[in-house]
Amino acid sequence: MNRFLSVLSLLMFWGYPTHSQNYPKKVEDKLIGKVSYVIYSNPRKCTLTDTTAVLYLNPTHSLFVYAKGDDHRMVTCDKGEDVMLLEANGNMVLKNFASDTLKIRELVLTTVYRSYEALPKFNWTLGNKEKTIANYKVKNATTRFRGRSYEAWFSEEIPISDGPWKFNGLPGLILEVYDTDKDYFFTIKNIEIPANPFSEEVKFREDGQFLPIQKFLIADHIEYEKIKKESQAASNIEIEVKVPPRNPIELTEN
Amino acid sequence: MRFILLLLMAMNGLGSFAQSISGKVYDHDNQPLSSVIIKLYGVDNQLKEFTQTDIDGNFTAKSSPKDVHYLVLSKLGFDDFRIDFESLTAFTFSVQLSPTEKPVTYLEEVVVKAPERLYNSLDTLTYKADSLRNQNVTTVEDLISRIPGVSIDINTGRISYQNKPISTILIDGDNLTGNNYQIFSKNISEKIAQEVQLIDGFEENSFLKQFKRSDAIALNIKTNSEEKGIYSGSISAGGGYQDRYVGSGNLLFLSETSKNLLTSTTNNLGDFSFGQQFALEQTTVNDRHVKSLFYNVSRDFLSKINPVLSMNYNQNLSENEEFFVSDNLQFKSGKSEFLLNSFLYKDVLSQNKADFFLIKNGTEQTLFVNTKEEESTPSNWGLSLNHNFKLSDKFRLENQLLFNRKSFDEISLLNLNETVFENELGENDLFIKSDIFIKPSSKYLIYSYNSFKHSELTDVFTLAGESIFTPETVGEINFFEQEYFSKNTHFNNTSGVIQRKGSHDIFEFATQFDYHNTDNIANNTSRSDFKNKFYNFSIVGKWTKVVGTRIFEAGLKNTFLTGNNLQNKFVVLPNLRYKWKNIYTNFDAHLYRELVFVDNKYWINGSISTGFQSFINSSLPSSKQFFSTANVFKTSLNHSLKSGSVDLGIQFQASYTPLNFIPVFSAEDNFFVSGVLPFDADDYSVSTSFEISKYVSGLTQNFRIVPSHAYSKTIYASNEDVFRNESNVFSIRFETKTAYDGWFNFFTGFTFKNQVFSDSNIQMNEVTNSSNHFSSGFFNLNLIPITNKLKVQIQNNLYDFNTGGTYFYLGDIQATYKPEKFPLEIQFKLKNFTDERRFSLFSENASTISRNSTFVRPLSAVLSLKYVF
């Protein structure tokens, strides 16, 4: 077992803030649909690990909630064990199509960070391939976004220009999208339009530490530095904190 | 249906000058409607552009109005609204959408279950080893054989997955055995495996993935060796009749930092530790003694900068001075990778090979050098040099040089130059490829291959003053030339292709010129004396037009040959395709006419063939939990007339093909049916074939998974080897052919519960002439499990019968007995040693048939025990 994982396993049980704030945007208002995806991701060059995610839709907003869970998951890979971080409220991406903005909130190691950016405009190139996913006829489209090339499969039968994570801008709901390196793979699991009644609270949580988007993209670096300093300050000895390989979904700023 | 109100508000009087299309969308309460998807379609019904309304219901499209045929407005909860553009005079307008009267739940809930037992990471299928285990599984090979779609050749141990051979087996990602993975799969216990992964598109050097797409499939056995050391292996020993002996030992040791595989064997049966494939090629000598040592180690050194250094060293020694040594040195740091690979194999084939890679952080800079030396006999040597040099993201330059000397009296120089400039990001492609083949010797050969492709054309074709192609036309010119020049033959082929794609037109034009000059007289060096000389000029043109949902295609091909023979051929290829909903119909009519002049005489051949195809795509109800389905039903009837012969055939094919191999479909609904009934009157042959398979996912069902595509192809190819290894539920093939000689083929296969129950191959050849009749047969009974514990293999049996007598040649027989829940295997081998593996049994001398072979068949038997730990 690598030493950094031991450090991690100690650190991961540190609490993180659960501030109570006002949540001005309620996605459950006029909720028109709820779409579930399975995400296969490999954020640390360990192994593809699956998690579920939900896209909540209303006329002007969509909220994508992923990596939601009460406990972290251990993942076994070639280089040892890794931790799939799950957060009680889930990581969130809120797309506001009225103001063309996007908010993101993510647990990075021990801290919840959030950020804000203009709604990404994907430069999609429509392909001519067709297939069927979950009884929906889908067409392919390709794009490049922040260092990765993606292929998406969207259905014109569902005229919602949205998709998992930050993806949007196709003439139909994206049912499947993956990067060409196959490190990130989103596929449809369940479609409920209109959504069945449910009691859970669906809100974008404005808690956590705000970072500009440029720093948010490298928040794991910031977090490791912070852990290193805090660990050394606490133990007064030099502790080696080894940074595992990075393989984030966004490789570049642009 | 509620009312739909379409308000047209001409913003200017001359709509044809409008440069864009814009508008505003309201709902039935006159409230602006946001997130309405507006799709703009061209005349060819292809989606040209799409946009959506903003929060105020406004939208603007970029397309020029003259290129737009109609718009479709879509919004969840509202009916789709189509606006035909031909009727419009203005391009700024308002639209009111009406709520749909369809049930609000018209998007039915679809639940796609995530794979449970195995998960799929696009290129990799992962099976939990526990789900593959049962009481009969002892070795890694046993474990692999339980994977649906995997078949193992009992003779060679080679593993295939869905008809494609497995290239290698990795152990925790490392290749310890090269291509001779049988050492590992047959001798190592299944207990080491935690997961078995099938990796499609496997490329051993990960950086090479940037250059090429591999078709190889590899297996990766994942172990838990990083937590503790793992030992596994096997020992076997035995002896028998005629002083035969066999002994072997294999040891695998995996730890956190190294992987070691030691294999040794000694025997006088001719069995190599590399697996029987080598043995089959080499065991042509009686009493071959084999001693081999195979050692492979892979070691990772971890340090702060995280480089990985791994080294593989393979050595095999035998008494016949055959050996190979393989070194693999790999160094990785954060931003660069270096790989040196050398391979030396003596006696049978000697070659040195070195690869050098330097990659700086992904695609920014890449240098790839590959050198190879080949030596097949002491007097033969060669050198090949490959360079792949990637200058930047946009351009790639490749060079390849190969120099070869085959023997003293023939020197060949092979010079392959390939230059590729690629602009991956831009829209313009420039592709230049040049290959040169030079073989200077007494029989010299010059071969050149040039290809040029340029895909940006700016000129516009016009016909009768009207533009045929829109400015968005994509054009392509391909030029191809090859020249083959040797002492006796000069062949030149030049061809060019022009293709232009308009928004609703596709035009293709191709020419080909062949010059062929061959001298049939030996040692004649004068090129003017070539006896066969002809020129061939062909023109092919095809025009495709899209009208609504219909597609018309028309083409003409004309070939003109001149030279010793004068021929004129033409083929007319009208083709009509029509699509209605999910049904495609295709009508082909071929008119073929041939005029042949030979020795001042001529023949006229003509044929007409028509075809009809329909493709039906349908999806099953969601309750079946299919990811996707595509059904193909195709019929065709061909009829052709030639002088003096009649061809009549009918082909029928029905297949049911899951598009995605993701095992969530239910077993009951998967099957594949295929039949072919060709009838050939020329040589009076009848061939009937029919196949039925059943697809299953997961491991709980009985039958294997086979891609239906492979089957549909092989049926028409009449490949005799198709069914032998691919039998799923039941496959049978029967063919007869009667002419001057006759032969008879019979293949059966039966698979039950994912194990080969019977895989037999029976072939009979029958030859009859006026005074004699003889026949020979061959059958290979690969594996018969007498019980779960006892399996018998019989191979290479030859049966001969003629008017002079009957002979039966017995091949090798092998029987294995493996008790349940005990890793001991008792193996009995009856081996047949003979100098001749190929028989020339009969020679015909006037009316007498005599046997010219005397068979010496020293039989030997060995009983051995094998223990896998």
What strands, in cross-sheet order, belong to the sheet with B21-26?
A: B6-8, B92-96, B21-26, B58-61
Chain B residues closer than 8 Å to A80 by CB: 226
pLDDT-derived band at A140 (thresholds 50, 70, 90) equals very high
Q: B655: which strand partners?
A: B632
Residue of A nearest to B174 (CA): A78
Who among A132, A170, A191 is closest to B619 (CB)?
A: A132
Residue B97 CA to residue B94 CA, distance in Å, equals 10
Closest C-alpha to A179, from A213, A144, A203: A144
pLDDT at B33: 85
pLDDT at A163: 94
Contact between A98 and B628 using a beta-carbon 8 Å cutoff = no
Residue A181 in contact with residue A148, Cβ under 8 Å? yes
Chain A residues closer than 8 Å to B47 by CB: 126, 171
Lowest mean pLDDT among A153-157, A174-178, B431-435, B778-782: B431-435
Contact between B114 and A192 using a beta-carbon 8 Å cutoff = no
* Residue of A132, A149, A243 to mutate for B, most B C-beta atoms under 10 A: A132
pLDDT at B23: 85
Contact between A32 and B109 using a beta-carbon 8 Å cutoff = no
Say how many residues make up chain A: 254
Contact between A59 and B35 using a beta-carbon 8 Å cutoff = yes
Run of H or E residues at B185: helix B182-187
Contact between B55 and A98 using a beta-carbon 8 Å cutoff = yes
Chain A residues closer than 8 Å to B75 by CB: 159
Lowest mean pLDDT among A69-78, B96-105, B307-316, B512-521: B307-316
pLDDT-derived band at B160 (thresholds 50, 70, 90) equals confident
pLDDT-derived band at B386 (thresholds 50, 70, 90) equals very low
Q: What is the pLDDT of residues B55-106, one digit of tens each?
A: 888 888 888 777 888 888 888 778 888 888 766 656 677 777 777 665 443 3
pLDDT at A77: 64
> How many other β-carbons are positioned within 10 Å of the β-carbon of residue B53?
23
Residue B270 in contact with residue B303, Cβ under 8 Å? no
Residue B142 CA to residue B135 CA, distance in Å, equals 10
Q: What is the pLDDT of residues A184-218, one digit of tens each?
A: 889 888 887 777 666 566 778 888 888 888 888 88
Strand, helix or coil for residue B819: coil
Check pLDDT > 50 for residue B713: no
Strand, helix or coil for residue B418: coil
Average pLDDT, chain A: 76
Q: What is the ipTM of this complex?
A: 0.76
**B812/chain A closest Cα distance in angstroms:** 43
Residue A99 CA to residue B55 CA, distance in Å, equals 8
Residue B192 CA to residue B195 CA, distance in Å, equals 9
Chain B residues closer than 8 Å to A161 by CB: 35, 37, 52
More confident residue, A43 or B451: A43
Cis peptide before A244 (omega within 30 of 0): no
Q: DSSP string spanning chain A? A: --HHHHHHHHHTTS-----------BTTTT--EEEEEEEEE-TTSS--EEEEEEEEE-SSEEEEEESB-SS-EEEEETTEEEEE--BSS-EEEEEETTTTEEEEEEEETTEEEEEEEEPP----EEEEEEEEETTEEEEEEEEEETTEEEEEEEETTS---B-STT-B-SSSEEEEEEETTSSEEEEEEEEEESPPP--S--B----SEE--HHHHTTHHHHHHHHHHHHHHHHHSS----PPPPP--S--S--
Chain B residues closer than 8 Å to A171 by CB: 37, 39, 47, 50, 52, 74
Which parts of B467-535 fold into alpha helices (H)?
none
pTM of the predicted model over 0.80: no
pLDDT at B818: 76
- Dihedral sign computed on CA atoms, order B722, B723, B728, B733: positive
Residue A9 CA to residue A227 CA, distance in Å, equals 12
Give the list of residues 6+ apart from residue A234 with CB closer than 8 angstroms, or none. Answer: none
Chain A residues closer than 8 Å to B503 by CB: none
Residue B586 CA to residue B551 CA, distance in Å, equals 10
**B529/chain A closest Cα distance in angstroms:** 54
Residue of B nearest to A190 (CA): B111
What b/e sequence results for B200-212 when a residue is b if at least 16 CB atoms lie within 10 Å of its CB, and e otherwise?
bebbbbebbebee
Q: What is the pLDDT of residues B321-345, one digit of tens each?
A: 444 444 444 444 444 444 444 444 4
Who among A40, A134, A136 is closest to B121 (CB)?
A: A40
Residue B18 in contact with residue B90, Cβ under 8 Å? yes
**A159/chain B closest Cα distance in angstroms:** 6
More confident residue, B295 or A234: A234
What b/e sequence results for B432-447 when a residue is b if at least 16 CB atoms lie within 10 Å of its CB, and e otherwise?
ebebbbebebeeebeb
pLDDT-derived band at B550 (thresholds 50, 70, 90) equals low
Check pLDDT > 50 for residue B209: no
pLDDT at B436: 41
Q: What is the pLDDT of residues B633-682, one digit of tens each?
A: 333 333 333 333 333 333 333 333 322 222 222 333 333 333 333 333 22
Question: Measured between CB atoms, does A241 come within 8 Å of chain B?
Answer: no
Who among B119, B122, B660 is closest to A178 (CB)?
A: B122
Using beta carbons and an 8 Å cutoff, which residues of B are at the interface with A?
34-37, 39, 47, 50, 52, 55, 74-77, 80, 104-105, 107-112, 114, 119, 121-124, 172-173, 222, 226, 619, 622, 627-630, 659-660
Closest C-alpha to B96, from B5, B3, B34: B5
Taking phi first (over 0 means left), then psi (-120 to 50 degrees means alpha), and beta for anything else, what does residue A231 get? alpha
Q: B254: which strand partners?
A: B230, B259
Check pLDDT > 60 for residue B741: no
Q: What are phi and psi of A96, to 5 degrees?
A: -110, 105
Residue B41 in contact with residue B122, Cβ under 8 Å? no
The DSSP secondary-structure symbol of B158 reads -
pLDDT at A230: 74
Average pLDDT over residues B126-154: 73
Q: What is the pLDDT of residues B12-31, one digit of tens each?
A: 333 334 467 888 888 878 88
Residue of B nearest to A127 (CA): B47
Residue B73 in contact with residue B25, Cβ under 8 Å? yes
